[in-house]
Each structure stands twice: as structure tokens, then as C-alpha cells.
A = this chain, B = another copy of it.
Amino acid sequence: MTSPPSTDHRLDDHRLDLQRRQRLGMVEAIWGEHKTADQLARIIDRLQAAGELAFATRVSEEKAAAVRALIPALPLRHYPAARCLVSPALPASDPARGRVAVLSGGTSDLPVASETQLALACHGVAAELMLDVGVAGLHRLLDRLEALRTADVLIACAGMEGALPTVLAGLLPQPVIGVPVAVGYGVSAGGKAALHGMLASCAPGLTVVNIDNGYGAAMACLRILGLRGGADRDRR
């Protein structure tokens, strides 16, 4: 147990959990917000060497460009709407994995909804985005109701008062995952009002993930899709 205290530890001790995909069947996301381009490049490089997909969230276009400049040989792609960086390419989508709808109440929820969709795509699940079906214009939601009946899982992203998943869960029997979004001002700044609205919901059986946690909602969806029977069940 000796270590040189005057040396600057940076990332050398970052030990990637490469067994997670095997154990849980999920790609471990790299949370890009507090990491430098240098840290991201090193982690992606090591995942690549291990034959794993790299999926980094909360990466701006500028930071993505800086990462690409550091590891130009790797096939990185940045998705600006989702603010994510993926390497190498996404796998082909497999319709047998299930049908997922990602809904949101407004354009401002787009980054979170897109992160959710992309995280599912990393696992071969194609999800449909339905933007602007918020509750203030209820008819827009009711128009889509029949189409939504065919989905296996519904993921509803909402900021402000976060009423969308409540209304959905009162109308449809599928699993509904609420994702509070940190848009808004005053009491809704930071997403707390939306989070509390979803948790307090009087609609039965709505579950919730952390504010802005599109990746988490996608992983919860994957856990649920794993129950759909047939080949999926053997994977576990």
C-alpha cells in the first residue's frame, strides 16, 4: 500500500468495467459533462481496444471535435441533438427486441428524448420519437392514442410541471417511464417540479428516473424488454 503522493494521478487508475455488458447486457455510458476531451479520448481508446462500444453523454460539439482530433483514427460520430458521442457505428436495429415510443412535451425536451433514443439504438432497439404531445394541448396526445397502443414501453420526457406521463399512464396499460427534464424557470427551474409531479402522480404504476437521465430511462426500458419472452430470455 505505497503510492507516490507527489505524483499527479489523472486517469491511470480509471478501471473500466468491461464485464458490465456481459453481466447486465448494457453498455456503460461515459458521463461526459465533467470530463476533459483528453480524459474522454483515453477512455474511448481503451474501450475500442477491448472491442466495446463507447457511448459518451453530455458532450458538446466543441468537445467532440477536440476528442476527434486526439484520436483521429477511431470512427467517432457525434449526435448534436442528443449531445452524445458514439464509437464505432451503432449496431443494426432489431425489430424483435420490441417497440418503444419516446414522447416529449416540447422542443426544449429534445436533448433528453434524443439521448434516450440513441441509448436504445446502441443496443439495437429502434424507438420512435413523438415531440410536442404535451398536456396543455391535450388533443395532440389523444390523436396519437391508437398508435401508442402498439408500443411495448412508453418513455415520457417532460419539463415544467411534468404532467405528460401522468396522463399517459391514466390512458394506457403499458409500462410508462417518466423522465423529468430540467427546463423551466422559477419553481420549475432544475426539473424538481417535474420530478415531484411525476412521483406524486395519481396515475397507477408510473415509475421515474433522475432529472435529464435519458440514458437511465433507456436502460430501464432494456431491462423490461428483456422479459418479452422468446430468444430474449435466454440471453440472461
* A135 contact set on B, CB distance < 8 A: 135, 163, 166-167, 170, 202-203
- Known A8-B80, A132-B13: A219·B204 in contact at CB below 8 Å: yes
* A172 contact set on B, CB distance < 8 A: 24
A100, closest chain B residue (CB)? B1
Q: How many copies does the complex hold?
A: 8
The verdict on A5 contacting chain B, using a C-beta distance below 8 Å, is: yes
Complex CA distance for A151 and B98, rounded to whole angstroms? 21
Looking at the assembled complex, report how far the CB atom of A163 sits from the nearest CB atom of chain B, in whole angstroms: 4
Complex CA distance for A43 and B108, rounded to whole angstroms? 13
Complex CA distance for A135 and B20, rounded to whole angstroms? 13
- Known A5-B127, A81-B8, A108-B35: A199·B210 in contact at CB below 8 Å: yes
Give the interface of A toward B (CB within 8 A).
1-6, 8-11, 13-17, 19-20, 23-26, 28-29, 31, 33-35, 39, 43, 79-82, 90, 93, 95, 98-99, 101, 105-108, 110, 113-114, 117-118, 120-121, 125-132, 134-140, 147, 149-153, 160-163, 166-167, 169-177, 180, 182-213, 215-216, 218-230, 236
